[in-house]
Every structure is written in structure tokens, then in C-alpha cells.
């Protein structure tokens, strides 16, 4: 049976996380709702499988809201991503947050079902928002998953309760 643990992201795994984020997103920068995040500076959690890092979530708490900025897993369909989201939810709750939210792009249809299965609901559809995002991060590709043109942001949210 594999040994799976979730730990706060520390300097011990920062190099790995920065490499993962750069490979997945083209850099350690991420844009959501017109805001440029430096994910290499954000708090997060890492999942260790037999002491090897296999998944990462980064987040940003602003007042009583917590945004999941990135979520990446090298081991899919094993509950690791769900466990990371729940870990962030618990952390946000402990910090007094009442809302957990995130942005994904219109091409990420996998994320639509993933987050809704976890209890998130669509909170907004921001048409052509990626135009502004490309001003902050020009490396955002024009064509995304399944050949879909990346142009819109979809906002998901979950209200945090005990």
C-alpha cells in the first residue's frame, strides 16, 4: 500500500514545485481575474507518494476569501487532487475564510466536472477575459485542451462551512 501524505509546501520542495509549475503553465506566474500571481511565492501543499512529491496546490488568502491558484497532479484519478482541495478548504476555514474560489479557462472541460463533483458551483463566466490576462502574461497559449481557443475565464466557488 502506498504511503500518501500531504504536507505544507516548504523550501524543501520549492525547486520541485517551481519546475512542475513551469512545465505545466510555462512559468511560475499565473493570471486570474486580471491579477498576476507569483506562484513561487504563494503558500501551498504538496502530496508525497512514498516520500516523492507528486502533486501541488497553491492558494492565496485575501480577507475572508481563499483562491486556489494552481492545482497539478502527476497521479490522476486517485483522489490526490480532491485531497489537496479539501486540505486548502480546511486551511482557509481555519484562517476565517468563508469562500473558496478559483478560475479556470473555457478549454479546461476536465476541471468543470472535477470541481463540481467536489461541491463547487459556477459563480461567473468572464467572456474574453483572457485578452487582459495575456497583457500580464503574454505566454498564455491561444489554443488549449482539445483544440479549443482559450478566451474566457470560468469562476467556480464554494462557500466554506464547518
pLDDT (tens digit per residue) in 40-63: 999 999 999 988 999 999 999 999
Residue 52 and residue 12 in contact, taking contact as beta carbons nearer than 8 Å: no
Residue 103: Cβ within 10 Å count: 23
Give tens-digit pLDDT for 49-99: 988 999 999 999 999 999 999 999 998 777 899 999 999 999 999 999 999
CA 100 to chain centre: 11
pTM of the model: 0.92
Tell me the C-alpha distance between 74 and 81, whole Å. 10
Distances (CA, A) of 131 to 99, 138, 141, 142: 26, 9, 11, 10
**Domain 4-159 architecture:** 3-Layer(aba) Sandwich (3.40)
Of the chain, the percentage scoring pLDDT greater than 70 comes to: 98
Amino acid at each position: 500500500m502506498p504511503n500518501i501524505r500531504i504536507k505544507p509546501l516548504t523550501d524543501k520542495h520549492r525547486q520541485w514545485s517551481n519546475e512542475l509549475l513551469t512545465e505545466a503553465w510555462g512559468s511560475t506566474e499565473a493570471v486570474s481575474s486580471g491579477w498576476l500571481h507569483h506562484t513561487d511565492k504563494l503558500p501551498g501543499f504538496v502530496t508525497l507518494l512514498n516520500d516523492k512529491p507528486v502533486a501541488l496546490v497553491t492558494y492565496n488568502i485575501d480577507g475572508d476569501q481563499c483562491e486556489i491558484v494552481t492545482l497539478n497532479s502527476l497521479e490522476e484519478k486517485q483522489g490526490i487532487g480532491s485531497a489537496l482541495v479539501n486540505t486548502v478548504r480546511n486551511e482557509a476555514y481555519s484562517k476565517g475564510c468563508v469562500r473558496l474560489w478559483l478560475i479556470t479557462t473555457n478549454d479546461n472541460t476536465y476541471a468543470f466536472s472535477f470541481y463540481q463533483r467536489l461541491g463547487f458551483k459556477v459563480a461567473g463566466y468572464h467572456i474574453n477575459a483572457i485578452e487582459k490576462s495575456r497583457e500580464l502574461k503574454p505566454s498564455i497559449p491561444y489554443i488549449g485542451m482539445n483544440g479549443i481557443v482559450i478566451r474566457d475565464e470560468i469562476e467556480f466557488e464554494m462557500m466554506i462551512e464547518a
